[in-house]
Structure 1
Amino acid sequence: MLWTQASALDFGVNIHRGGSADLNSQRATIMNQRNFKTARMDLVWNEDQTQMRDQAIKIRANGGRVEAVLWTSAGNDHSCPQDLAAVESRAYSEAYAMVNAHKDLIQDFELFNEVQLRSEILAETIWNSIGLKTSPYESKPCIATMTAAMRGQSRAIRDLRNSSGLPLRAILGQVGRDWGFLTFMQQKGVIFDVIGWHVYQSVYSPSMLNDAWWGPGGPYATLATFGKPVHINEFNCGEIYEAGYENEVGQPVTENCLKALKNHMTDLLNQKFVNVESVHVYELLDAPEKAAPENRFGLMFNLTRNKPHMYLYTAFAGGSLTTQERYEVTSRRLMTDTEIDVRKVIPVVPVPPVPPVPPVVPVVPVVPDTQAPFVTITNPASGSVFARRSTINVTATATDNVGVREVRISLNGALVCVSTSPPYQCQMRLANSKNWTGLIYMQAFDAAGNIGSRSIMTFTN
């Protein structure tokens, strides 16, 4: 089996805070050796950020980058104040100051962390029961408070992007399958450029390529409907949450964790629904000072002792593995040597400089085509309702600066039609079920491999 992926994907880790100069250097070196290109850290209001900046500087010096979870003061206030204008104004001012101070090092900023799982939010909603709906978030005091704070944060990021000219982006986090949370935030004026998704699947969890528990077509297909790039900002196995998780090499539940990581990372690399820019394992190091399960998420027990999880994740990332480390992966039949080699990053060997030769004929540089096709589904309209077992005719347009090579149209993750020339249309039969939801997803490919996509939702009555 050869690994494929829809787009370039950066592998990274969660680090939280900066540390001593020596600790920061060690972590940056480990990331470089393992080809971990990105780290997710915390940026907290009213904290001394000297160590955090030192860590970011050292990661950047080693070829990586840092994104930050933006913790303005509202993150530590669970009292749900109802002067929403004041909440938003304060969040704006604090976020503006924090982002402005660090925009030279960091361009991606996440609006708090796991807002859906805050205690006061869980008191107002039932997590993982809302799906695509937005109404359960309406008229809830604590949700209104956090929405105002995130709106303030997002406005600050936007304003600094406009004034500085830097590519600053806001990340809105999503936990679980309540996708209506993202739509609700859009409706309430929270500006975000990237979706940050957290997911922990076990070895027994179905493939996320088509698991309808997450929504029509699976989670990646549903994420694609928002038209935003995705950062999987927390990724690990679900076994870590089990009471019987041993966190010991060779023990059965710990070994199942490795199998889960292999299965679901493979699915991530094979999915072609949505642009996943990066994945961050939670996290680099165990935290023995914390209670279970928060003490055992690390790829490493400590800075001098790796877990097999580190070797597997490094193999996926294409990083450096010793012969013994590679054996820890292949002997468990998690990946073969061929599969590891396919993903391995081949270092670029510098070429000695050659004395310059005066040009005779000017050379026009070849600019690679990076523009994706533009796609529109012209029929049916998103949200259309049809009778059960209806046969519908899907029509679409696709244009590209060079030319469209192929168009694919799928229904709930299953490919229905492929066309290499216009008009792009597809007949499909809807399910024989009442209140059924169908995700129609279209992809257009050009000769350079760029992919444009569009999706709509349909329903039966």
Structure 2
Amino acid sequence: MGIARTVGLTLLLAVLSATGTNAVAQVMAWGVDGPTSKKMDVKPIFALLHARGITQYRINAYLADGTDAFQVQTYREMIQLAKEYHISLKPILFSPFQEGDRTDHGKYPKGDAAALYASAYNRTYKFVSEFRNDLPDWELGNEVNLQIKDADGKRLFGKGQTAAEFDTPPMNDWAAVLRGMSDAIEKVNTEYGLHLRRALNTTSTMFGFLDFMASRGVKFEIISYHYYAHLGVNPHHFFGHRDEGGFDLFKKLASYKKAVVLNELNCAEIYDSDYENEAGKPKTETGFKSLYSTLKYFAEQTDLKIEALDIYELLDEPAKAPPENRFGLMYDLGRPKVPFFLLTQFAGGTLSTDEKKLLMERGLLP
């Protein structure tokens, strides 16, 4: 970390003594999606999150098979720091198949469904066993539902409500992978008398993905959902289903009678080509209002119990192409954006007088 960033982060932590606490009732845990870099120093990140009342950190877990000492040691160190700063880690399991490797580096040369299952099962079992007493929740991949496209080559945004739409060769391959992960975690639970939970993710209206995976034997206790909406969108009628016969996001999520987390959320304005990523600019300011509206709605609604909400993501990733380069709550650890103060407010953390002013002058305080 450079001197300028270190000074910026020190100042950020120092202003917390200026006090000011959240006026919104804390009805769920609040968190962020972390950087994906394996070499990221998480200590200053966890210190900052703790100071701001942010308690969850969602992060990739690239499955190790017992020989990847770097991956295992990285997680050991991260878990120790998370305990020190009272941060709950939420790992996302990634198998070799996520990168297109059907044989797991040649270990399963047939590359068929049985190979995909065995690779996912064995890697998951070893990794989860290693951290079984530290990490209670495990997410089975990320946005796997987006791996399928319709006859026009488009993703199923606004569609995908039936299991039949996902009964394709690629999705059956994914079912083998996710069932391997799910079964491995169940084996750990059985062997050690634990109750580790499995999370399965979907987006948009693609609840048929959950139904399809369940029909293929993938077990899960948590639904993780991703939500990005423009200002003015009614969360109940997400993706324009207001007049299409009763689709209601909250009722649909509640119908599964499972725990629900929103572990990726941000304003959809960031996806727009004219988003400036600069406070004071019109589209960026609209995005601030959009995010505030969404957070306020989810915090105050009573239709659905939401265990946790994580904003995607903590830091900008300037090496990526737009829009993936600008989702951060901060440009870097020394330069927060207005949405970082928004999350602090909702998480019950402390804001400085100047930070409060930035929110108040925009009408972004409850």
TM exceeding 0.5: yes
What SS is found at the alignment partner of 2:359? helix
| TM-score, reference length from structure 1 | 0.67
Instruction: State yes or no: 1:67 paired with 2:90.
Output: yes
**8 A Cα contact 1:18 1:52, kept in partner:** no
| 1:407-428 CA distance string (max 9 Å, x none) | xxxxxxxxxxxxxxxxxxxxxx
**8 A Cα contact 1:19 1:52, kept in partner:** no
Q: Which has the larger radius of gyration?
A: 1
**8 A Cα contact 1:170 1:194, kept in partner:** yes
Q: How far apart are 1:4 and its partner, in Å?
A: 5.8
Q: For residues 3-18 of structure 1, what are the structure 2 equivalents within 5 Å?
A: 3=24, 8-17=27-36
**8 A Cα contact 1:71 1:112, kept in partner:** yes
Query: Structure 1 stretches of 5 or more lacking a match?
Result: 340-461
Q: Which residue of 1 aligns with 2:275?
A: 245
Instruction: State yes or no: 1:54 paired with 2:71.
Output: no
Task: Quickly say closer, same or farther: Cα 1:150–1:126, change in 2 above 3 A.
Answer: same
Instruction: State yes or no: 1:128 paired with 2:151.
Output: no
What SS is found at the alignment partner of 1:276? coil
User: Which deviates more, 73-82 or 165-174?
Assistant: 73-82
Q: Distance in 2 between matches of 1:298 and 1:18?
A: 15
Q: Distance in 2 between matches of 1:63 and 1:75?
A: 31
Higher RCO, Cα 8 Å, sep 6+: 2
The structure whose residues are more often helix, as a share, is: 2
Percentage of identical aligned residues: 31
Q: How far apart are 1:218 and its partner, in Å?
A: 2.3
**Aligned counterpart for 1:291 among listed residues 321, 325, 329:** 321
What SS is found at the alignment partner of 1:13? strand
Q: Distance in 2 between matches of 1:210 and 1:272?
A: 16
Q: Which residue of 2 aligns with 1:83?
A: 112
Q: How far apart are 1:133 and its partner, in Å?
A: 1.5
Q: How far apart are 1:100 and its partner, in Å?
A: 1.1
**Aligned counterpart for 2:51 among listed residues 26, 33, 50:** 33
Instruction: State yes or no: 1:103 paired with 2:132.
Output: yes
Q: Distance in 1 between matches of 2:35 and 2:93?
A: 12
Q: Distance in 1 between matches of 2:274 and 2:126?
A: 45
| 1:68-107 CA distance string (max 9 Å, x none) | 0001112111779872222212211111111112223212
Aligned length: 328
**8 A Cα contact 1:82 1:141, kept in partner:** no
Q: Distance in 2 between matches of 1:129 and 1:207?
A: 15
The structure whose residues are more often strand, as a share, is: 1
**8 A Cα contact 2:102 2:115, kept in partner:** no
Q: Distance in 2 between matches of 1:14 and 1:168?
A: 21
Q: Distance in 1 between matches of 2:57 and 2:193?
A: 23
RMSD value, Cα: 2.3
| 1:287-306 CA distance string (max 9 Å, x none) | 11111111111111111111
**8 A Cα contact 2:24 2:348, kept in partner:** no
Query: Structure 2 stretches of 5 or more lacking a match?
Result: 1-22, 104-109
| 1:46-68 CA distance string (max 9 Å, x none) | 45223343223212211121010
**8 A Cα contact 2:158 2:204, kept in partner:** no
Task: Quickly say closer, same or farther: Cα 1:310–1:142, change in 2 above 3 A.
Answer: same
Instruction: State yes or no: 1:329 paired with 2:359.
Output: yes
| TM-score, reference length from structure 2 | 0.84
